[in-house]
Structure 1
């Protein structure tokens, strides 16, 4: 667990009236885009601290200088360092200090804190389903202020606002937008072996078979261990396969429990993921057998791409932040990623994820912080505070030129592709006791010997009846 406080180094109460558009903001922030001393491994050591933002939106909250907002999140370093750097313009502008606390056990510990009455001011929730559970079961989340709703209406797709809404009340603004449908690989290793990036799922499976034959061992590496959240990377696999085998409409029915979790179409998606994850000829490269996936930290699972022990690793765009400092993430570099291909010809299914900022207090400084997080100013400041890449936002006024890497721009391109049919991470939309509970557990059981039918039946039996 890490905890630190962002405090201002000098007062900046003057409204600068910077235009909200990314292009205009980029002119003001340009001097903040570089300068990584590598101290935190994430490159976010104050890169946005000098960003001149428009302070006028925060005047409506009154004199909040000298107050503090406590943020609780699962976003640990190195991503945590860049997140904290992105808050510095807000602190400089308002005088509000941000007490930032991050934990890998966030999902479980947040519920414990709520039950104990030990609430943060703001929590960054990676699961809309968890938001719904907390709202409906505890009533502790406060509705988002009007300023936040106005920002989200102006800058985001309406669907993202819906993910932060429960029973018609808007609670939580979207933050990052993760593209999960990626396969990481080493362009250098591919070039040396003469491999081509596959364009369809069939080609990917053919390539996998060829690799296994060429190297005499499994080409894929994977890991789902994540502390109290162990299992979630495996749910991403199943969800991507659900989009590719059953299609987006059935995916929606699955999320809403209009079909049961043990429907044959869900079984087929598990088994499609199992073509890789439960095949000892294909996994777990350099790490062990199939069951080692359950105990391999997701943060480390793809490192074999760098030493040649692994050739393929499915992970989201943010995985690039896990590689050691100095790793060349580029189309001709040490590592890069390609879109997880599909045999579908009419659509390009894309699984996405994201974080939502929910508040447990409505003090003026908390509302001001929520307003900043939902603004175009923050989206661009966060991009500039992440010079090593690994972060994308769906804010319409995010200037792509502020994104640090070609890979981040690729993610933005995929999100904007007219052929892309995006669906939010299913486990994040399901009721909390399922999405961040029995579904995660099912993945571990599945990887360590249970059959597909056994685990989908277990999850179905756990689905809340009310």
Structure 2
């Protein structure tokens, strides 16, 4: 039992350490910041490692919610007046719409972003707005094809024609060239949009791609139509994809690459963002040995994506969290997490932080003299990107209706106000 003397001494120590009862409370509980993002599973575990360091240092708790129905959950929360303090979205178009309504502002990060992010990313941060409204906390390479070195001997394709020839050779020998999964509720179809975007970028060039993403190039233009036809030549024909087109419509994008590692393999190539490395790692596969990266054949320019943070409530806690998340320390903790594959858009995160040579190559393409163009469907207004997703599914189901689908997409484009589109630099 504690004596009265010892109780007095304990009180005295508390006063000396804390000063007052209120300051002691501040040390043990500095409030809570609510965060909404898409990360679940291993990605959530990796993010929570970063949050743990933040909370340990600041005593600010983070109430994190992860959901794949991110846009829908956020829109409902904003409408109810219960928006999170911070939301991480992959689509600048959606964040720009919130910014236009005066809901987002990140002036306090302007200096750090301008100092630490490569110039190629600066246009994305602002996306034509007068004030910084979003910041990339996590980046991914989209112009990536993955393969098993032992199953794809010889010189790797460096041009579109070489890729097409290799695909046809695999089919002629009785193999299946491509893994493909288009199911991703509630946004099924987006893996196909990545394909079409990459094909347009590398065939027509960054300027045509920029105009299309900004809503100033028709969906019925020859360049856009050809990108769809090229994709159909690869995947929407007998023997093109594992299980056939109908299977691709039902296969979850996260499971599409599993046949790559079967024996014998069910497919030899997968076009997917760099985040797929986490999926491969969960299967026990090692980069460089079990799989490797083939940059999309053609001119060295890359389609990229990012998880962008927007602040919906300007609180001291939210500001401190965002300042920490984009700091070089937090970014390196995230990159080195050991659970999920994470890449930073910051130029000062050392390549050695990524460990293996494959990850270092991805990081180099993202940050070391990068020529990048942001995922076009993520830049487009929600009505346009949603129509794009649906058109991909309909095209795979019936490629003969391509011209009808492009006509519908063009009607959607014409119906969207000019002010709703983002015009972001591409390939610079």
Same-fold status (TM-score > 0.5): yes
1:282 and 1:159 mapped to 2: Cα distance?
Answer: 35
User: Partner of 2:98: helix, strand, or coil?
Assistant: helix
2:398 and 2:261 mapped to 1: Cα distance?
Answer: 30
Structure 1 residue runs without a partner (length 5+): 1-61
Residue 360 of structure 2 corresponds to residue 443 of structure 1? no
Residue 276 of structure 2 corresponds to residue 327 of structure 1? no
Q: Which has the higher helix share?
A: 2
| Matching residue of 2:268 | 311
Q: Deviations over 1:176-211 (max 9, x none)?
A: 221111111112223xxx444222221211111111
1:408 and 1:236 mapped to 2: Cα distance?
Answer: 20
2:28 and 2:351 mapped to 1: Cα distance?
Answer: 33
Deviates more, 1:99-108 or 1:196-205: 196-205
1:167 and 1:200 mapped to 2: Cα distance?
Answer: 36
Residue 350 of structure 2 corresponds to residue 392 of structure 1? no
1:318 and 1:265 mapped to 2: Cα distance?
Answer: 29
| Matching residue of 1:374 | 326
1:425 and 1:198 mapped to 2: Cα distance?
Answer: 23
Q: Deviations over 1:278-319 (max 9, x none)?
A: 122311x1xx22132222100000111110111111111110
Residue 256 of structure 2 corresponds to residue 294 of structure 1? no
| Matching residue of 2:294 | 338
User: Partner of 1:78: helix, strand, or coil?
Assistant: helix
Question: Contact 1:145–1:367 (CA<8 Å) still a contact in 2?
Answer: no
| Matching residue of 2:236 | 278
Residue 371 of structure 2 corresponds to residue 421 of structure 1? yes
Question: Contact 2:46–2:339 (CA<8 Å) still a contact in 1?
Answer: no
| Matching residue of 2:148 | 186
| Matching residue of 2:17 | none
Tell me by how many angstroms 1:266 deviates. Answer: 0.7
2:113 and 2:30 mapped to 1: Cα distance?
Answer: 27
Deviates more, 1:321-330 or 1:254-263: 321-330
Q: 1:416 to 1:396 in 2, by over 3 A?
A: closer
Tell me by how many angstroms 1:63 deviates. Answer: 7.7
| Matching residue of 2:135 | 173
Structure 2 residue runs without a partner (length 5+): 1-25, 419-428
User: Partner of 1:169: helix, strand, or coil?
Assistant: coil
| Matching residue of 1:27 | none
Q: How many residues align structurally?
A: 387
Tell me by how many angstroms 1:254 deviates. Answer: 0.7
Residue 49 of structure 2 corresponds to residue 85 of structure 1? yes
User: Partner of 2:301: helix, strand, or coil?
Assistant: strand
Q: Deviations over 1:17-42 (max 9, x none)?
A: xxxxxxxxxxxxxxxxxxxxxxxxxx
2:170 and 2:339 mapped to 1: Cα distance?
Answer: 31
Residue 417 of structure 2 corresponds to residue 465 of structure 1? yes
Tell me by how many angstroms 1:91 deviates. Answer: 1.0
Tell me by how many angstroms 1:329 deviates. Answer: 2.5
Tell me by how many angstroms 1:217 deviates. Answer: 4.1
Q: Deviations over 1:67-119 (max 9, x none)?
A: 11111011221111101111222111111111111111112222122222221
Normalised by the length of structure 2, the TM-score is 0.85
| Matching residue of 2:13 | none
Match of 2:358 among 383, 402, 407: 407
1:325 and 1:201 mapped to 2: Cα distance?
Answer: 31
2:63 and 2:98 mapped to 1: Cα distance?
Answer: 22
Question: Contact 1:129–1:432 (CA<8 Å) still a contact in 2?
Answer: yes
Normalised by the length of structure 1, the TM-score is 0.79
User: Partner of 2:53: helix, strand, or coil?
Assistant: helix
Q: 1:128 to 1:279 in 2, by over 3 A?
A: same
1:111-190 to structure 2, matched below 5 A, reads 111-136=75-100, 138-139=101-102, 141-146=103-108, 148-165=109-126, 167-190=129-152
